[in-house]
Amino acid sequence: MENDDVFTQIIAKLKRVSQSGRDLEMEYELEDEYESIETSLLEGKSSVDPGKMGIFATALFIVGEMTGSGILGVPQALAYSGYSGFALMFLCVAVATYTGLTLSRNWMHVRDQYPRCAKPYQCIGNSAFGKCGEVAVQVCANVTLVGGCCAYILIAAQSLSRFLFIEFEVDCIGYRTCVAIMALVFLVVLLFGSGGDSLLVPVLATVLSVTFTLLIIYGIFQTGKSPNFQPYQVTAKSWFLSFGKFLFAFGGHSAFPNFQKEMKKPRDFPGSVIIAFLIKLVLYIPVGITGMLFFGDIVKPNILHNIDPQFKALNACILLLVAVQAIMSATILGNPVAAMIEGAIGAPHKQLFSAKRVAVRIGYVAVAIVVCEAIPRFDLIMALIGGTTINTAVFILPSLFHIKLAKKDKWLTFKKTLDALSITFGMGAGIVCTYASVSHICGRDEHSHSYFQQLTVGIVCTYASVSHIVDEMNIHTATFN
């Protein structure tokens, strides 16, 4: 049973009773404790302190984690995978739902062993395969968080660049300079913490996602179908890149045990998973279908770039909402990694502007800028992270841990068969998606430069743009004086 360790504690107390002189008094105490534990077990409770979240609140946390980037990237993912992309997307949803439920069972198996666990997924890995399992989860979680954070910074930068061009016809501030600007905004927000413990954050993220999804669909209809519409000629490479984007869009499992730990009734977590994925489908499918059917082979990695710029007010609303949601999501994803590094070097937790804390967060943002300048397309980061760490944390590790931790019941053989299929699916998806994304990143883009060669170009262009802006400000200041 999950609570074998509780009974081990009772047996230990019984032994101490027999060796003490307070036999009768302690027997009464022990009887009360045993009755309390027995009642808790019969009611499905645990010795772990319950959280505060209900089913729907937990579902909002899941939805708010990585939904924004999926909404913008799914239209091209569907267009580049053809009608088979719908089957591919539903397959990803089905397997991700199963592994989400499996991860929930894993936590229920081990949670009484770790009543004060701050990192539940790592605790599951440790219980299943010791230090190796814990490290595997930690690496997947951190790389996913950093990659997702970079994708959101790029989305915010694209939104700022397009907003300035459409509303003010400003094109002297390049896209790469916008990356630096939004990274600085991200740094300011990151220095003041994440707000990730507040229910306001996921609720606001979900509301923003729903709002700009509806506005995007309206904008697509206003723009109208492309006069030279042609369906995209699907290739193996484009199909596998779309596969990686779907994996990213339905990821986020690294945080599932944390959400479950904070629930009033952790056994209800499967309901939260199902509700969250249904909400994601409701958001992804309409915008994906309209983008695919209206723009075909000219659909952009960011669907916002297909909306006619003549609708200035509509574009302004969408771009500002997306930018706010992106920075908020980047902060949620970035704070745990920064906090982990701060804990490792002993940075004061309660001092917002201690030297160590500021240095760690500036360094984190600097790394994010380097990644964004080297790979200035959020869709490629989605495909790469989706095919590697998200794929591992979503499809492979939950099933692998479940095979090790599962208790015997009449469905055990069937469950382990599904686990084996999930692991096989994850390994196959990981190999093909990683190959497609890495070959694309290390290959050539439309300007005949590899994405890694663009890093140097990006830094030079950013420096030149910032210098130009500073010079213009100095000239205007001198003229005014």
Q: Per-residue confidence at 125, pLDDT binned at 50, 70, 90? A: very high
Mean per-residue pLDDT of the chain = 81
pTM of structure: 0.78
pLDDT at 359: 93
pLDDT for 444 equals: 54
Q: What mean pLDDT do residues 146-174 have?
A: 87
- Mean pLDDT of the region 400-423: 88
Mean pLDDT within 352-357: 87
Across 274-288, average pLDDT? 94
Q: Which residue has the higher pLDDT, 20 or 117?
A: 117
The residue written with tokens 């970079």 in the block is: 150
In the predicted structure, residue 96 carries a pLDDT above the cut 60: yes
Which residue has tokens 């997702």?
Answer: 148
> What's at 379, amino acid-wise?
D
Q: Mean pLDDT, to the nearest integer, of 418-447?
A: 84
Long-range contacts of 181-186 (CB under 8 A, 24+ apart): 181/157, 182/153, 182/156, 182/157, 182/323, 182/327, 183/153, 183/157, 183/365, 183/368, 183/369, 183/372, 184/365, 185/156, 185/327, 186/153, 186/156, 186/327, 186/330, 186/331, 186/334, 186/365, 186/368
Using CA atoms, how far apart are residues 456 and 163, in angstroms rounded to an integer?
26
Over residues 349-362, mean pLDDT: 86
Position 442: which residue type? Answer: C
Share of the chain above pLDDT 90, in %: 44
pLDDT at 338: 87
User: Within the chain, what is the greatest distance between any pair of CA atoms?
Assistant: 93
CA torsion sign for 272, 88, 329, 315 is negative
User: Which of 94-98, 204-208, 228-232 has the highest mean predicted lDDT (pLDDT)?
Assistant: 94-98
Confidence of residue 205 (pLDDT cuts 50, 70, 90): confident
For residue 261, the 8-state DSSP code is H
Least confidently predicted of 62-66, 122-126, 471-475: 471-475
Q: Are 74 and 249 in contact (CB under 8 A)?
A: yes
Which is more confident, 30 or 272? 272
Confidence label for 136 from pLDDT (cuts 50, 70 and 90): very high
**Confidence check: pLDDT of 440 > 50:** yes
Alpha-carbon distances, residue 372 vs 38, 157, 304, 452 (angstroms): 55, 10, 19, 11
| pLDDT band of 458, cuts 50, 70, 90 | low
pLDDT band at 456 (very low <50, low <70, confident <90, very high): low
Residue 376 pLDDT grade (very low, low, confident, very high; cuts 50, 70, 90): confident
pLDDT at 107: 92
Is pLDDT of 369 > 50?
yes
- pLDDT band, residue 474 (cuts 50/70/90): low
pLDDT average, residue stretch 131-136: 94
Question: In this structure, are residues 237 and 442 in contact, taking their beta carbons and an 8 Å threshold?
Answer: no
Q: What is the pLDDT of residue 448?
A: 38
pLDDT of residue 42: 37
Question: What pLDDT is attached to residue 130?
Answer: 93
Q: How far apart are CA 153 and CA 179, in angstroms?
A: 7
47 — pLDDT class (breaks 50, 70, 90) = very low
pLDDT value of residue 127? 92
Count of CB atoms within 10 A of residue 424's CB? 13
Over the stretch 308-319, which tens digit does the pLDDT of each residue have?
999 999 999 999
Report yes or no: 391 and 426 within 8 Å, Cβ to Cβ: yes
**Is residue 305 over pLDDT 80?**
yes
CA 300/CA 310 separation, integer angstroms: 18
Q: Which of 27-31, 35-39, 351-355, 448-452: highest mean pLDDT?
A: 351-355
pLDDT band for position 12 (cuts 50, 70, 90): low
Could you tell me which residues are beta bridge partners of residue 53? 263
Q: Please give the Cα distance from 208 to 68 (Å, whole number).
A: 9
Q: Average pLDDT in the 132-154 region?
A: 92
pLDDT of the residue at 159? 92
Query: What pLDDT was estimated at residue 87?
Result: 94
pLDDT band for 455, please (50, 70, 90 cuts). low
Please give the single-letter amino acid code of residue 225.
K
With 50 as the cut, is the pLDDT of residue 33 above it? no
In the predicted structure, residue 367 carries a pLDDT above the cut 80: yes
Residue 461 has pLDDT above 80, yes or no: no
Q: Is residue 69 within 8 Å of 152, Cβ to Cβ? A: yes
CA dist., res. 318 & res. 33, Å (int) = 58
pLDDT of residue 192: 81
Average pLDDT over residues 82-99: 93
Nearest-5° Cα angle at 43, 38 to 45: 85
Determine contact, residues 365/375, Cβ cutoff 8 Å: no
Using pLDDT thresholds of 50, 70 and 90, give the confidence band for residue 417: very high
- pLDDT confidence of 79, banded at 50, 70, 90? very high
